Structure 1
Amino acid sequence: MYIKTARLEIREFTLDDVRSYYKLESIPSVARYQYNAERTMEESKEQVGNAIEAQTITPRKVYELAVTQDERFIGRIGAVVKDDHAVIWYSFMPAVQGKGFATEAVEAFLPELGDGLTLEIECDPRNEASWKLGLRLGFKEMGRVEKVEFCKGEWVDSLVMQRVVPKAGVEEKSPEGE
């Protein structure tokens, strides 16, 4: 998959991206709201390898894409698609956060997943940047669960947001069915 926007290129990962992936995912503030701790170089190599392998599976279920600006790696976005449901994620370098890059990248990526899907973002409610991005992209809060998982030495809550992408030719409805 390859997507070009006004400022970004969104593309498949290659082995050349291992160091960039590591630089992003080893930052404590980036890993703060993820289930995993900061990634090691070895874990980063494994994750990029998994992303490359996912590119070859048909039908494709896992998308893990590199986001670059002027050929400089600035983040990653992805989704796991199962049946008519897709769970979306995104992670960007702290230096580029707050500049609209995540919104631009995810907005360009979502249509590539197809129609007739319920898109979902699940995040820690303390991750304000993540859920605010969801709101900007038209996601609606579907629910919050307190103490859903013990992660990194603390109980964490969960915020679930959804957006329905109707099948082609069908009028869009809100996730609540209104």
Structure 2
Amino acid sequence: MILATERLVLRRFTEDDAAALSAYRSVPEVARYQSWDAPFSLEQAVETVRSYAEGDPDAPGWFQYAIDLDGVLIGDIGLHLADNLQQAELGFTLAPAYQGQGYAAEAVGALLDRLFTEKNLHRVSAECDARNDASARLLERLGFEREGLRRAASWWKGEWTDDLLFGRLHPDWPRS
């Protein structure tokens, strides 16, 4: 366990997570704004989980946190820690059956608290496809400020997409 909330545990991935990861990453609506395509095979998930398990949450680069509810993988949070260890970028995914119940806000909020209070990061940023209203609303609920819109900035799955840019600064923590 890396971090616990009232209902959730943020932890490293284990090989037992492969089937659940394959299942939620295979849902077309989940994959729509993400870097993978659905279906996401069990073989892909096994390799992905192996790679995620080797990461270091305190080292520069990407680390993927497993979001665990009562021993079940329900989603993940990707965090890219900058080389200066003062900034990070994050992204999140939640299985459809667990969306709309506050789990993503709880998990991301707990990670932000750790980053700002324990790790003393200066800034955490996020971006999402401008059509991804649920992610944008979640970021705003967590106190991220919308810092910009990059129009037709990303060639994504066969089309140009707009990107929303969000940021949260240490002096503005905790959540208001």
Q: What is the TM-score with the length of structure 1 in the denominator?
A: 0.86
Q: State whether residues 54 and 60 of structure 1, in contact with CA within 8 Å, keep that contact through their aligned partners in structure 2.
A: no
User: Where does 1:28-39 land on structure 2 (aligned, <5 Å)?
Assistant: 28-38=28-38, 39=40
Q: TM-score, normalised by structure 2?
A: 0.87
Q: Which moved more, 1:84-93 or 1:57-66?
A: 57-66
Structure 2 letter corresponding to 1:77: I
Q: Deviations over 1:21-60 (max 9, x none)?
A: 11111111100111321222222222212211113x8635
1:43 aligns with 2:44: yes
Identical amino acids, percent of aligned pairs: 35
Instruction: Work out the CA distance in 2 between the residues paired with 1:58 and 1:173.
Output: 22
- 1:27 to 1:121, Cα distance in 2 relative to 1, 3 A: same
* 1:46-93 residue CA offsets vs partner (Å, 9 max, x unmatched): 2212211113x8635322111121222211112010122211011001
Output the CA distance in 1 between the equivalents of 2:79 and 2:153: 21
Q: Matches of 1:11 and 1:53 in 2, distance apart?
A: 12
- Listed as ranges, the gaps of 5+ residues in structure 1 are 166-171
Structure 1 residues 110-125: aligned runs within 5 Å: 110-113=112-115, 114-125=119-130
Matches within 5 A, 1:98-137: 98-113=100-115, 114-137=119-142
Rounded to whole Å, the distance in 2 between the matches of 1:100 and 1:76 is 14
Q: How far apart in 1 are the matches of 2:67 and 2:151? A: 32
Q: Any runs of at least 4 consecutive aligned residues in structure 1 with deviations exceeding 4 A, and if so which? A: none
Q: Which runs of structure 2 are paired with 1:21-32 in the superposition (5 Å)?
A: 21-32=21-32
Unaligned runs of 5+ in 2: none
The size of the alignment, in residue pairs, is: 167
Counterpart of 1:75 in structure 2 is 75
